[in-house]
Amino acid sequence: MNVLLVALTASAATFIGGSFALRFRDKLHLILGFSAGAVAGVALFDLLPEAMSFGMIYHTTATVSLFIAIGFFGYLLLDRLILLHTHPSTSLGAGKEDEGVNAPRGFFGAFTLSTHSFLDGMAIGIGFQSSAALGIVVTAAVLTHDFSDGVNTVNLVLKNGGSWKQAFRWLIADAAAPIAGAASTLLFTIPESLIGLVLAVFVGTFLYLSASDLIPESHHRHPRALTTVMTLLGALVLYVVVHLV
């Protein structure tokens, strides 16, 4: 089975998710609410169990937990000290001044999600190097959250003042990342002892993105009951899909 063709399905799922967010931009606060739950769901129901499963073969629980903390607080430092995060008083897309201040934060968030998609592609490639059956299982797991990855990539750019064109360019990068990741495994692989720690860093990063970025913005000047329902729905959908796989 051609691993690059399999990775193309992950790419398609990411692109479809981002296109959905662009198409229904008038309901962005609801999509942001869903994304907040989906990002947290990916971290808690997908990445965290995998990080523990892989990591505890070579490391203690405390070490894996430390790398989760590194992901969380490392992103906090980037957000607060480097990306100059602010809390704009206006709503989404309300003014140009917010656009200039917050855009780097959105771009870095999109870059983080694209990096995660690249590692998804690597996981597919490594799985198929072991066996076709394992490769298919890994691919199914990747597809469970790549749709939401596309949605989240677009939302992070838009809600931080980026333009629709910039969001679309990041979506293309995110969609291409799984194919690039799968292709990279033809040249090298990540040592198995490090896979759990890499996943742990992404757990912390995604939890921070959900709690500090997406959840507050989804509630900004919008009916809180409905956006809260969408957040819970996003987490529930990821939980159900991950456990079905």
Q: Can you give the residue ranges of every domain in the chain?
A: 3-244
Structural contact between residues 243 and 231, judged by C-beta atoms closer than 8 angstroms: no
Q: What percent of the chain has pLDDT over 70?
A: 81
The pLDDT value given to residue 125: 84
Q: Return the ∠ at Cα 194 (arms to 198 and 104), rounded to 5°.
A: 25
Q: Read off the pLDDT of residues 177-232 as tens digits, 9 standing for 90 and up.
A: 989 988 988 887 678 788 889 889 888 988 988 888 778 767 765 667 888 999 99
The pLDDT value given to residue 117: 84
DSSP state letters, 123-158: HHHHHHHH-HHHHHHHHHHHHHHHHHHHHHHHHHHH
Structural contact between residues 76 and 112, judged by C-beta atoms closer than 8 angstroms: no
Name every residue whose Cβ is closer than 8 Å to that of residue 156 and which is 6 or more positions away in sequence. 106, 109, 110, 113, 209, 213, 214
124 or 175: whose pLDDT is higher?
Answer: 175
In terms of C-beta density within 10 A (0-12 exposed, 13-18 middle, 19 or more buried), how is residue 2 classed?
exposed
* Dihedral sign of CA atoms 53, 57, 62, 66 in order: negative
